[in-house]
Amino acid sequence: MSTVVKDTHHDEHPSGIMRWLTTTNHKDIGSLYLWFSLIMFFIGGLMALVIRSELFQPGLQFVDPQFFNSMTTMHALVMIFGVVMPAFTGLANWMIPIMIGGPDMALPRMNNYSFWIMPFAFSMLLSTLFMDGGAPAGGWTLYPPLSLQTGDAFPFLIFAIHFMGLSSIMGAINIVATILNMRAPGMTLMKMPLFVWTWLITAFLLIAVMPVLAGGVTMLLTDKFFGTSFFNAAGGGDPVMFQHIFWFFGHPEVYILILPSFGVVSAIIPTFARKPLFGYSSMVYATASIAFLSFIVWAHHMFTVGMPLAGEVFFMLATMLIAVPTGVKVFNWVTTMWRGAMTFETPMLFAIGFIVMFTIGGFSGLMLAITPADFQYHDTYFVVAHFHYVLVPGSVFAIMAAVYFWLPKWTGNMYPETLGKVHFWLSTFFVNLTFFPMHFVGLAGMPRRIPDYSLQFADYNMIASIGAFGFGFAQLIFVYLIFKTIRGGEKATDEVWEGAEGLEWTLSSPPPYHSFNTPPVIK
Amino acid sequence: MITRRVEECEEYIISGNNSLSFQGNILFIVLIGLISMTIAALFLLKGYWFILPFAGFEMILLAIVLLYCCHNNSLYEKIQIFDETVNISSKYRQNRGKFEVNKYWASVVLSKPKLKGHSHRLFIRYKGREMEVGVMLEDEERLKLARMLNDSLNKNGIG
């Protein structure tokens, strides 16, 4: 009998550029998504600063109205599809296989493809800035007939959206297959961490609504280039139907952007409160309820198009219903903190900031849900304030909280805590300085998507612009801190945080290249 | 995943980790397919038929992915060590079939990876013929299986 045993090379992998181009490792792909998202965050942020520079004072200062509208459109597309979605997909890639005790994603090769489609799609989108007729300027909602007036950029925009959608679909299907089929023995569905649950439901939403967006934008394309009249009233089509189609995708998309945040916060709060999450099952059911309700509220985005009274009442009440499961979540997070042995490290600060400011965004959402009130608020800066409160101190703060929470695990080094806290307080101060005054100018009647405005809105706009620049510069601390942590620092323990629980904390910091060679035992 | 049972014989079952049954996967495909196709059909009824092919393409992709996972989950290798014989049955891609060998003349062969970073390969060899086992395992598990098989075949001082 012959037996040859030698040391294994478990942590060896290709090096250099080929490692990143050809990698099928979930951690590498997770890192790629997160870096991509960070780069796009600064590109989208620069567009926001162009907008805020122009709005610093009344009158036209820096850019012409067409370019201003291009900036609002591109800023939204970049931030939604290029920042928040890839960041959460990156977190999912990094954490889900580890959290469920799996060796990798279910389809690693497809995982690689789904990432590398993204830079291609965004190069196509950003290239429109240099085309005849300029970048798309009809708003990220692409309402016809306005969006059909886009110049050469139009087909590039549509195909970029198709590629982003394809990437999202491949990512979502991979996540579903991983969560369903790769869990370690004993990891039943109701034992999965909330982050995994929220991603399973998010992936479900993505799979359900992405074809609606793909079909909708394809019909725009055929209307423009192939003489169809899906949305052309002159040819018997219905432009309002595009709004229905878009928001049937768009409202679940809002939850695609926020549900993983709920998972992140549900991981962080119990760790720093040193208590188990209050009401785990109710959190799962609340997430599922929000996902279900997201399919039946789309028309609250278009109350002013004129719809039957019964329709308005239905969509108003259905929208208000969302406050119930969302309230359950906020209640559970607060109750988890109640009488906990709390400490306030940076991830916890961002998580608490999330709860407070996301709730502000939720309440302004409730105000917008009231149909007669919405008739007044529609297309004003109040709406801009509302969705920025949900997406910036909501989704973006949750992503930052997640990075601070898991960065020591990813790199093996602790980040500089004081600098992290400085980043949090500056971000919190400036984010409120930017977006809170928008409530006032909105209620006073300032319309959105305009480069110039009436004199009475000048003071609040100036404050908002100062806030935006402050917020932008504060993010440089975040970048510095990430590089500093990657390069070295105090060594992180395997558990990292005293109250941390979950499979990810049983691995070394940083974890081995291949996480669980043998499935862990779940009690 | 290696499962070891000792009853009439010593038995090793090497399989993937199935955290959801085939029926569970089918149920999921049907559920999400129903939702997605209902949405697409409702838009189709209003004349907006372009959503249907995208929904259909996506459901096909989802079904392929989940059925591929199910297929992988159904693969296994079984090694039964009796007093006199060793039976190996396998259902793993190209490595299908049965192999029955005399226990006293069977040998466990662990071949070193030819390239850095690649995995070991594990064979059971008998009279110049050999069958690869532990194909679906990670390298560390494969080494563990090699040790376990080696110990089992060596129990009677032979192997």
Burial class (CB in 10 A: 0-12, 13-18, 19+), A28: buried
CA distances from A285 to A88, A91, A186, B78 (A): 21, 22, 21, 41
Q: Looking at this protein, which amino acid is placed at residue B158?
A: I
Tens of pLDDT, residues B83-141: 888 888 877 666 667 788 888 888 888 888 777 667 788 888 888 888 888 877 777 77
A455 touches chain B (CB under 8 A): no
Q: What angle (nearest 5°) sits at the alpha carbon of residue A449, between those of residues A132 and A239? A: 75
B146/A212 touch (CB, cutoff 8 Å), yes or no: no
Task: Kindly report the backbone phi and psi dihedral angles of residue B130, in degrees, each rounded to the nearest multiple of 5, phi listed first.
Answer: -145, 155
Per the listing, tokens 């129903």 go with B34
Chain B from 127 to 156: CB within 8 A of any A CB: 138-141, 143-144, 146, 150, 153-154
Active-site option among A253, A345, A374, A504: A253
Q: What is the pTM of this model?
A: 0.90
Alpha carbon B110 to its chain's center: 20
Known catalytic residue: A168? Answer: yes
Task: Let me know: does B69 contact B17? Beta carbons within 8 Å.
Answer: no
Q: Looking at this protein, which amino acid is placed at residue B110?
A: L
> Is the Cα torsion angle A144, A296, A193, B30 positive or negative in sign?
negative
Q: What angle (nearest 5°) sits at the alpha carbon of residue A450, between those of residues A447 and A454? A: 65
Q: Which helix (H) or strand (E) holds A67?
A: helix A65-77
A211/B55 touch (CB, cutoff 8 Å), yes or no: yes
Average pLDDT over chain A reads 94
DSSP codes of every residue in A255-288: HHHHHHHHHHHHHHHHHHHTSPPTTHHHHHHHHH
Per the listing, tokens 């012409």 go with A64
Chain B from 64 to 83: CB within 8 A of any A CB: 65-66, 68-70, 73
Burial class (CB in 10 A: 0-12, 13-18, 19+), B144: middle
Chain A residues with CB-CB distance to B17 below 8 A:
102, 182-185, 519
Known catalytic residue: A378? Answer: no
Can you give the pLDDT at residue B159?
A: 39
Tens of pLDDT, residues A248-257: 999 999 999 9
Which of A294, A281, A360, A361 shows the shortest CA–CA distance to A322? A294
B110/A1 touch (CB, cutoff 8 Å), yes or no: no
- The complex scores an ipTM of 0.91
B51/A169 touch (CB, cutoff 8 Å), yes or no: no
Which of A503, A483, A502, A505 shows the shortest CA–CA distance to A492? A505
3-state DSSP call for residue A454? Answer: coil
CA distances from A134 to A71, A78, A153, A220, A225 (A): 10, 16, 7, 18, 18
Please give the residue of chain A at the shortest CA–CA distance from B17: A182
- Choose the mutation target among A181, A187, A206, A521 for the interface with B, i.e. most B CBs under 10 Å: A181
Tokens at A409, concatenated: 């695990």
Dihedral of the CA atoms B40, B45, B46, B50 (nearest 10)? Answer: 40
Can you give the pLDDT at residue B136?
A: 77
A185/B54 touch (CB, cutoff 8 Å), yes or no: no
Which of A355, A358, A451, A432 shows the shortest CA–CA distance to A55? A451
CA distances from B127 to A38, A236, B85, B107 (A): 60, 79, 14, 10
Tokens at A27, concatenated: 């951690």
Can you give the pLDDT at residue A518?
A: 67
Task: Kindly report the backbone phi and psi dihedral angles of residue A349, in degrees, each rounded to the nearest multiple of 5, phi listed first.
Answer: -60, -45
Which of A398, A404, A183, A190 shows the shortest CA–CA distance to A277? A190
Tens of pLDDT, residues A373-421: 999 999 999 999 999 999 999 999 999 999 999 999 999 999 999 999 9
Average pLDDT over chain B reads 85
Task: Let me know: does A33 contact A87? Beta carbons within 8 Å.
Answer: yes
Tens of pLDDT, residues A291-333: 999 999 999 999 999 999 999 999 999 999 999 999 999 999 9
Per the listing, tokens 């949900």 go with A390
Helices (H), A106-238: 108-127, 153-181, 194-225
Per the listing, tokens 């079939």 go with B97
Burial class (CB in 10 A: 0-12, 13-18, 19+), A155: middle
Q: Which helix (H) or strand (E) holds A60?
A: none
Can you give the pLDDT at residue B157?
A: 45
- Which contacts of B98-105 are long-range, i.e. CB under 8 A and separated by 24 or more positions? B99/B124, B99/B126, B99/B129, B99/B131, B101/B126, B101/B127, B102/B126, B103/B153, B103/B156, B103/B158, B103/B159, B104/B158, B104/B159
A195 vs A166: CA distance, rounded Å: 23
A259 vs A198: CA distance, rounded Å: 6
Q: What angle (nearest 5°) sits at the alpha carbon of residue B89, between those of residues B86 and B94? A: 135
* Beta-strand runs (E) in B53-150: 76-81, 85-92, 95-102, 107-111, 121-126, 129-133
Task: Let me know: does A197 contact A217? Beta carbons within 8 Å.
Answer: no
Which of B123, B120, B158 shows the shortest CA–CA distance to B138? B120
In this prediction, the residues of chain A whose per-residue pLDDT falls under 50 are 1-10
Chain A residues with CB-CB distance to B141 below 8 A:
517-518
3-state DSSP call for residue A150? Answer: coil
